[in-house]
């Protein structure tokens, strides 16, 4: 008897995955619990385990395969005592990278379904096209080497025109200048040998897809406020110099730890800001679950019930999540949920910036660098250390007055940090 090995859904938003590595080869014995492959999801690289035992008789999708759909058969396991054969319904051969993703470059225009018998499209694009009764041969792909991907099919469904095939040097008409070019059209703008091509990993493709979706579907508006960091920095220095117990080293709290706690208690004071838009309703949450950008902003795991945690607990948890992110060991549950995000680029010297909302959150705080600033107090010039916070808000669920109140509450907590310790 043959058992199909299916690509599992490893995160709530996962639709496709990439086969990074097979840890078993054809003919190997497989036991229940054995790690058989590594899969790159839209969030991280994950290991998948065997739920049955037998012999790996066939690898359907080899290493390097991209955009394999969830629940697609990726391998065949021959049960113990059964014949080693392929299961019915499995394709005779999975597309290889060479045939499915990268076609030889040509000097002429991109080939489409009208000029070749084969249409190059991702499995997800094919599925959507089938559901929407769209002829893929009529579309121009915007993926690698002109491959048709999900956004091309969705553009056709919504009535937007496909990517233009404009010769280099030809001026686009004004109404068409905002239409995205596909990969081949962009490549033809540059001299061969003047660049190197870097393959997109699942994380970068997911980030690109999510930020486009957020900017297209969420009506952003922005508010900024300046916070005096003097008292916070003084308290942080005192706490970091204090050894709480003889058997433990002093704490190493960061400014970001204080910011997370300040936002958490502010959201509790203004529960109407602790919400998300759910299309036909609004969800209001009991606890402050906040996504914190780590590892340079590539990952945004969620810190749960942040209002209930001490600064030391918040600091330890953020460090732990950052380490797991760098090792690609974050679990799908680490990303899900939350109603707000924090992105701190202050350590890179950015004074202020307007971050894009992390769907489905209601807002995100962009934290700038702590800087020496000259201000007027009691008619006298005074030097302070301050930073700028920019809040990007979803106007569907937050209005300007509510956002301003939340920022003011947050500022009060930052400038009176003893409130954070109580």
Which residues are identified as catalytic? 395
Pairing status of strand 282-284 against strand 35-40:
unpaired
**Lookup result for tokens 């030391």:** 312
What does the alpha-carbon distance between residue 224 and residue 131 come to, in Å, rounded to a whole number?
A: 44
What number of helices (H) and strands (E) belong to the chain?
A: 10, 17
Quote the DSSP letter at residue 137. G
Per-position DSSP letters for 85-113, written without gaps between them: -PPTT--SSPPPHHHHT-----SSPPP-T
Q: What are the residues whose beta carbons fall under 8 Å from the beta carbon of 232, sequence distance 6 or more?
A: 255, 258, 414, 415, 417
CB-CB contact of 318 with 257 (8 Å): yes
> Which residue in 307, 266, 310, 316 sits closest to 289, CA to CA?
307
Neighbours of 31 (CB within 10 A): 11
Q: How far is CA 352 from CA 2, 216, 261, 315, 317, in A?
A: 58, 23, 21, 24, 26
Per-position DSSP letters for 184-219, written without gaps between them: HHHHTTS-TTS----PPPHHHHHHHHHHHHHHHHS-
SS3 319: helix
SS3 231: helix
Q: What are the residues whose beta carbons fall under 8 Å from the beta carbon of 238, sequence distance 6 or more?
A: none
Q: How far is CA 286 from CA 86, 137, 301, 305, in A?
A: 51, 50, 19, 9
């Amino acid at each position: 008897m043959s058992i199909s090995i299916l690509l599992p859904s490893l995160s709530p938003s996962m639709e496709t995955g990439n086969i990074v590595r097979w840890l078993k080869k054809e003919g190997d014995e497989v036991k229940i619990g054995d790690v058989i492959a590594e899969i790159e999801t839209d969030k991280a690289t994950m290991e998948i385990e065997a739920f049955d035992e037998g012999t790996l008789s066939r690898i359907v999708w080899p290493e390097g395969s991209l955009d394999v759909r969830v629940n697609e058969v990726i391998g065949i396991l021959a049960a113990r005592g059964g014949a080693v054969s392929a299961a019915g319904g499995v394709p005779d051969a999975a597309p290889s990278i060479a045939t499915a993703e990268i076609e030889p470059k040509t000097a002429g225009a991109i080939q489409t379904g009208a000029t070749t018998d084969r249409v190059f499209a991702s499995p997800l694009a094919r599925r959507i096209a089938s559901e929407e009764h769209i002829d893929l041969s009529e579309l121009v792909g915007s993926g690698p080497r002109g491959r048709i991907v999900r956004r091309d099919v969705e553009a056709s469904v919504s009535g937007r025109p496909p990517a233009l095939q404009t010769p280099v040097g030809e001026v686009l008409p004004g109404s068409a200048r905002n239409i995205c070019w596909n990969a081949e059209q962009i490549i033809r703008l540059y001299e061969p040998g003047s660049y190197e091509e870097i393959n997109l990993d699942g994380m970068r493709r997911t980030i690109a897809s999510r930020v486009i979706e957020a900017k297209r579907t969420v009506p952003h508006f922005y508010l900024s406020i300046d916070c005096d960091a003097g008292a916070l920095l003084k308290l942080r220095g005192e706490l970091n110099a204090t050894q709480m117990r003889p058997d433990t080293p002093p704490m190493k709290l960061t400014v970001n730890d204080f910011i997370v706690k300040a936002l958490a208690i502010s959201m509790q004071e203004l529960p109407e800001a602790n919400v998300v838009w759910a299309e036909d309703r609004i969800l209001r949450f009991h606890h402050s679950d906040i996504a914190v950008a780590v590892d340079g902003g590539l990952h945004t795991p969620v810190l749960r019930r942040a209002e209930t945690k001490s600064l030391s607990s918040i600091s330890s948890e953020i460090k732990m999540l950052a380490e797991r992110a760098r090792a690609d060991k974050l679990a799908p549950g680490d990303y899900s949920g939350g109603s707000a995000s924090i992105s701190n680029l202050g350590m890179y010297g950015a004074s202020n910036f307007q971050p894009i909302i992390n769907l489905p959150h209601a807002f995100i705080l962009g934290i700038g660098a702590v800087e020496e600033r000259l201000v007027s107090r009691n008619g006298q010039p005074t030097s302070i250390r301050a930073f700028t916070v920019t809040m990007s808000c979803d106007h569907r669920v937050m209005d300007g007055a509510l956002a301003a109140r939340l920022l003011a509450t947050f500022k009060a907590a930052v400038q009176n940090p003893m409130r954070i310790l109580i």
